[in-house]
């Protein structure tokens, strides 16, 4: 089954409109797609309608930004959520409402290192102050010629520890898992290999996630190498997590992996899509 259960549209920091994400997934041979915009469900109706037109399986999703421990940001994907659920919608709106003031703080830090007008620049890419993300800053910084591509902007300016990084309180893990479960969804840890947690810290985080009712983990992610895929397959077995498969596609030319172009899950794992109807 070519399932791709994590990707982005222009409703967050992706480059394609929701319907175009679905068209591209279909052209790439995806059989089941979940759109998972950051802290948003606003693209799901458009994506679902296009999926229906093309006969492509579709699951509603979102990717919630969460603060964990001592200034770690982790992402929790919700699959099969009801986008009309009031508690989920209110929760996501609360998370988004912090993005504008965070963007102003990022811009102030960037101005100190010689990159002026970055708030206005990023907002032009985002189109909406509640959606401004570091990806939009990265596109602006490439535009003004301060970096050759988005990835190097993160390496020089936006990653944790770099001049344009600011601390920000996102949702708590308990809130994110609670909103997802309350909306009938399955909570899945996004790209666990991306977090700079120690081995013990990773286990502590996953144990807390499981205690709260979290059920899945992205074993295969566009940001995992082969070794990480093996590591998180093993963790899925140990914790009894459902396994997800995810490109985390953001747009042509800007993503490590295109829609649906993710390896197969190890056959002994239980795929999370067996629980999506
Ligand atoms: P934000 O939610 O504003 O913190 O932005 C996070 C987004 O930035 C992620 O969802 C990715 O799309 C992007 N991102 C984070 N780290 C990198 C990186 N090293 N290279 C490229 N994009 C990144
Ligand atoms: Mn993103
Ligand atoms: Mn993410
Ligand atoms: Mn993502």
The average confidence (pLDDT) of the chain is 97
What tens digit of pLDDT does each residue of 185-198 get?
999 999 999 999 99
Ligand 1, pocket-test mutation among 96, 135, 150, 154, most atoms within 8 A of CB = 135
Asked if 187 and 229 sit in the same domain, the reply is yes
Asked if 134 and 63 sit in the same domain, the reply is no
Strands (E), 69-215: 72-79, 186-189
Asked if 71 and 203 sit in the same domain, the reply is yes
Region 110-134: what's the mean pLDDT? 97
Asked if 46 and 175 sit in the same domain, the reply is yes
What tens digit of pLDDT does each residue of 43-78 get?
999 999 999 999 999 999 999 999 999 989 999 999
Question: Which ligand 1 atom sits closest to the C-alpha of 75?
Answer: 10
Domain carrying residue 153: 99-158
**DSSP 3-state of 216:** strand
Ligand 1 center–CA 272 separation, angstroms? 24
Residue 9 has which token pair? 């549209």
Looking at residue 13, what DSSP letter applies?
A: T
Please answer whether residues 1 and 271 qualify as being in contact, where contact means their C-beta atoms are separated by less than 8 angstroms.
yes
Asked if 112 and 14 sit in the same domain, the reply is no
Residue nearest to atom 22 of ligand 1 (CA): 151
Ligand 2 center–CA 175 separation, angstroms? 20
Asked if 148 and 179 sit in the same domain, the reply is no
Q: Confidence class of residue 88 from pLDDT cuts 50, 70 and 90?
A: very high
Q: Say how many C-beta atoms besides its own lie within 10 A of residue 226's C-beta.
A: 8
Region 197-203: what's the mean pLDDT? 95
Could you tell me if residue 164 is inside a domain?
no
Asked if 215 and 86 sit in the same domain, the reply is yes
Asked if 9 and 69 sit in the same domain, the reply is yes
Asked if 258 and 239 sit in the same domain, the reply is yes
Region 81-86: what's the mean pLDDT? 98
Residue with tokens 């344009």: 164
Which residues lie with the beta carbon below 6 Å from any ligand 1 atom?
A: 13, 38, 65, 133-135, 150-151, 154, 159, 250
Ligand 2 center–CA 122 separation, angstroms? 14
pTM: 0.98
pLDDT, position 182? 98
Residue 186 has which token pair? 């399955």
pLDDT, position 255? 86
Ligand 3 center–CA 75 separation, angstroms? 5
Domain boundary (110, 138, 158) is at 158
pLDDT, position 27? 98
Q: Confidence class of residue 125 from pLDDT cuts 50, 70 and 90?
A: very high
Residue nearest to atom 3 of ligand 1 (CA): 133
């Amino acid at each position: 089954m070519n399932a791709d259960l994590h990707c982005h549209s222009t409703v967050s920091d992706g480059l394609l409109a929701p319907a175009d994400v679905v068209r591209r997934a279909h052209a790439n041979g995806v059989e089941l797609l979940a759109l998972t915009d950051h802290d948003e469900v606003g693209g799901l109706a458009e994506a679902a309608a296009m999926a229906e037109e093309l006969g492509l399986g579709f699951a509603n999703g979102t990717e919630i930004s969460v603060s964990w421990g001592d200034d770690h940001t982790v992402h929790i994907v919700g699959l099969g959520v009801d986008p009309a659920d009031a508690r989920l919608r209110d929760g996501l709106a609360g998370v988004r409402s912090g993005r504008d003031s965070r963007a102003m703080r990022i811009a102030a830090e960037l101005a100190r290192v010689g990159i002026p007008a970055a708030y206005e620049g990023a907002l032009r890419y985002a189109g909406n102050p509640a959606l401004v993300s570091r990806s939009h800053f990265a596109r602006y910084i490439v535009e003004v010629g301060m970096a050759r591509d988005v990835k190097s902007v993160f390496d020089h300016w936006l990653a944790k520890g770099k001049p344009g990084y600011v601390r920000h309180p996102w949702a708590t893990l308990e809130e994110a898992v609670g909103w997802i479960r309350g909306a009938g969804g399955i909570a899945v840890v996004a790209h666990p290999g991306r977090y700079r947690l120690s081995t013990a810290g990773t286990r502590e985080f996953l144990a807390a996630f499981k205690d709260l009712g979290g059920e899945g983990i992205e074993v295969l992610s566009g940001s995992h190498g082969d070794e990480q895929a093996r590591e998180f397959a093993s963790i899925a077995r140990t914790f009894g997590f459902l396994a997800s498969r995810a490109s985390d596609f953001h747009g042509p030319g800007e993503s490590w992996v295109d829609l649906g172009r993710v390896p197969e899950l190890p056959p002994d794992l239980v795929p999370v899509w067996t629980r999506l109807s």
